Amino acid sequence: MNEKSRKMNEVISQNRVKLHLFEPSQRSIWTIVGKEKEHWLDPESNFCSCSGYYFGMLKNKKPCYHIESIHIARQEKKFDIIKFSDEEYDSFISSILDEL
């Protein structure tokens, strides 16, 4: 198993993929809990907020392992769903932006 596969397996097996679901609107935000901070992802756009994504895309146009991890976690239904009310959406987004 190569390093990337090991990391992806670790992310999924440790339940670090999170779907933050806002109700009743059903807006959703995906995150992966990293070693130092939480990373925001948009699986449909293949975007991740981690520095590995940024530098990987600049250097060799390859996304980080978080992107592949989230796709696998979704296929295998191995992610935690955390529900919020729509009123909490703005403060949730603010906290994500504060971490960037």
**Mean pLDDT split into 10-residue runs, the chain, 100 residues:** 90 96 97 89 92 86 91 96 97 85
Residue 89 lies in a domain: no
What does the pLDDT read at residue 37? 85
Residue 71 lies in a domain: yes
Number of domains in the chain: 1
Q: Which residues pair with 66 in a beta bridge?
A: none
Residue 50 lies in a domain: yes
**Could you give the 3-state DSSP secondary structure of residue 24?**
coil
What does the pLDDT read at residue 40? 93
Q: Which strands form 47-48's sheet, in the order they lie side by side?
A: 47-48, 38-42, 27-33, 17-23, 80-85
Find the domain containing 17 and state its range: 3-84
Of 19, 20, 34, 27, residue with least CA distance to 99: 34
Its pTM surpasses 0.85? yes
Residue 95 lies in a domain: no
